[in-house]
Structure 1
Amino acid sequence: MKFAVIGGTGLIGSQVVSILNAAGHEAVPHSKSTGVDVITGQGVDEAVAGADVVVNLTNSPTFDEASPAFFRTSMDNLLAAAHKGGTGHFVILSIVGVDQVPELDYYQAKTLQEALLVAGPVPYSIVRATQFMEFIDAVLTWTADADTVRLPATPIQSIAAKDVAQAVADVAMGSPLNGIRDVGGPEIFTLDELGRITLSHKGDKRTVVTDPTAGMFAAVKGDVLTDKNAHLAATRYSDWLA
């Protein structure tokens, strides 16, 4: 099969392309660096023409109130091109619990992206993943100073990016779900606990202070970012750190 992987040079996209090609398919990565702009529409028709499957892994450059406009425009352009080009399966990557955190602009934007896909003209699959292990370091910087890192006790089911990529590729190689597949890591930690584990592994002597008001994840209520019934990946956080 022929796959057009939009956002195919990024953290997940580049791995999806490698997995699909190793499986004997033809997967072509597309991004701004290859001349494809999902906002202006430049190169989009050409990128998806003749593709059996379109995998859209593009992401908004911001997480604020501008993010819904990115997803609306990009999805409108990609879905129109995929429909015109005869694509039979359109796949996106989203977030476990994304529709349960209306307080966050970015989560509202990703919920919009899902809704546009569901209402669109192409058979589809949505892969919802839990939080990436690769993003934990960035999260620690949001509310840190020289002595402390402040984090809420939000339950997190972190998953390795390589496992997310495999899940996306597996779904893309299958028949359209016309629904959602949740994937997550094998363990659930609170975010403050993950912070302590991470700092300890790095030999970082800063103290993690549990603060229910700290950072973006303070807006998350309960355990909506976890799913014990998700398809569980194998990589544990301690193994990933090692």
Structure 2
Amino acid sequence: MKIAVFGGTGLIGSQVVANLTAAGHEAVPHSLSTGVDIITGAGVDDAVAGADVVVNLTNSPTFDDASPAFFQTSMDNLVGASTKAGVGHFVILSIVGVDQVPGLVYYRAKVLQEDVLRAGDVPFSIVRATQFMEFVDAIMSWTGDGETVRLPRTPIQPIAAADVAAAVSEVSVGAPLNGVRNVAGPEVFTLDELGRITLAAKGDSRVVADDTAGMFAAVSGDAIIAPAGAVTAPTRYADWLARA
């Protein structure tokens, strides 16, 4: 099976390419570094030519008001090219509970990405994952200074990037879902608790609970916790942290 992986050189994409290649598929990574621009459309038609499956793992370079335009334009280009090429399956990676957080423009942009895919003519699958374990340090940096790291008590269910890549790889070689598969880590923490665990491993105790701090303060209740029927990934946070 020939699979065109856009964003195939990134954190998830590179692992998806490796997984698919190891399974005997022809997985071809595409990105700006390989000469493919999903915003201008340069190289997109050639990238999807002959592909059985298109996997889009690209992401907006910002989380701000520019993100909707990124997803609209990139998906218009990719879905349009895939339709013309007769691609049989189009896969994207989204976020668990993405449609439950209207207060975040980036989440609204990801919903837009899903909507463009659903409205197209290509059979599709949407893999929604919870927050990546690899992003915890970045989340803390948004609200941290030399004195404190302020984090809200938002429940999250972190998942290892390798487990996300495994889920995307599995869906990519299966029949189109024409719907959503949710995947999540095996444990639920509040974000401030997860921050304390992470920094404690470095002898750091700066985390302070602040329900107004950072972008995840806009999340209500269990909005980004895996719903019933989600696939539970195997990697526990303590094990991932020990390896990291």
Aligned residue for 1:27, secondary structure, equals strand
Aligned residue for 2:201, secondary structure, equals helix
Aligned residue for 2:21, secondary structure, equals helix
Question: How far has the Cα of 1:202 moved from its partner?
Answer: 1.6
Corresponding position of 1:224: 223
- Please say if 1:66 is aligned against 2:86: no
Aligned residue for 1:202, secondary structure, equals coil
The one-letter amino acid paired with 2:30 is H
Question: How far has the Cα of 1:148 moved from its partner?
Answer: 1.1
Alpha-carbon distance between aligned partners in 1 of 2:192 and 2:219, rounded to the nearest angstrom? 14
Cα distance per residue 1:185-220 (max 9 Å; x no partner): 00000000000000001222x421110100000000
Mapping of 1:4-153 within 5 angstroms? 4-153=4-153
Alpha-carbon distance between aligned partners in 2 of 1:147 and 1:73, rounded to the nearest angstrom? 41
Aligned residue for 1:227, secondary structure, equals coil
Kindly report structure 1 stretches of 4+ aligned residues shifted beyond 4 Å.
none
Alpha-carbon distance between aligned partners in 2 of 1:31 and 1:141, rounded to the nearest angstrom? 27
Question: How far has the Cα of 1:147 moved from its partner?
Answer: 1.8
- Please say if 1:211 is aligned against 2:210: yes
Which structure 1 segments of 5+ residues have no match? none
Corresponding position of 1:239: 239
The one-letter amino acid paired with 2:128 is R
Alpha-carbon distance between aligned partners in 2 of 1:207 and 1:81, rounded to the nearest angstrom? 49
Aligned residue for 1:14, secondary structure, equals helix
Which structure 2 segments of 5+ residues have no match? none
Aligned residue for 2:36, secondary structure, equals coil
% identical aligned pairs: 74
Corresponding position of 1:185: 185
Alpha-carbon distance between aligned partners in 1 of 2:28 and 2:193, rounded to the nearest angstrom? 40
Cα distance per residue 1:140-196 (max 9 Å; x no partner): 111111121100000000000000000000000100000000000000000000000
Question: How far has the Cα of 1:228 moved from its partner?
Answer: 4.9
Number of residue equivalences: 241
Aligned residue for 1:39, secondary structure, equals coil
Question: How far has the Cα of 1:78 moved from its partner?
Answer: 0.3
Cα distance per residue 1:86-108 (max 9 Å; x no partner): 10000000000000000101000
